[in-house]
Amino acid sequence: MAVELISDNEFRDKITGAEKVVVKYYADWCGSCRLFAPKFRRLSNDERFGGISFLDINAEHNPAARQEAGVTNLPFFAIFKNGKFVEGISSNKEEMVVALIEKLN
């Protein structure tokens, strides 16, 4: 699956419209966020995560989505199951993000 760029307007529909969702919160000024973007795209195409929706959201421009996951630092990754927040981490380490996503399986 591709990574879908969303905003506050679509956030609620996207996390409730799919059983399993991982969201990457980023900011345009965040160098670690930019460096992680290709890894996140690669993970979205990984067959281990076939039934999971991957979403990107700009944390600076979408305060409702940011508040939903309690985002404190960037990049921040959050997992949602059946529309409910499960867990989130702030990390730029791929293995930590993979471990978080695996909790959805």
Amino acid found at 56: D
Compute the C-alpha angle 36/105/6, nearest 5°: 45
Reported in sequence order, the residue ranges of 1-105 that DSSP labels E, i.e. its strands, are 3-6, 20-26, 52-58, 76-81, 84-90
Query: Is 33 assigned a catalytic role?
Result: yes
Q: Is 93 helix (H, G, I), strand (E, B) or coil?
A: coil
Amino acid found at 24: K
Catalytic residue among 6, 30, 43, 104: 30
Q: Is 79 helix (H, G, I), strand (E, B) or coil?
A: strand
Catalytic residue among 6, 22, 33, 55: 33
Query: Is 30 assigned a catalytic role?
Result: yes
Enzyme catalytic residues: 30, 33
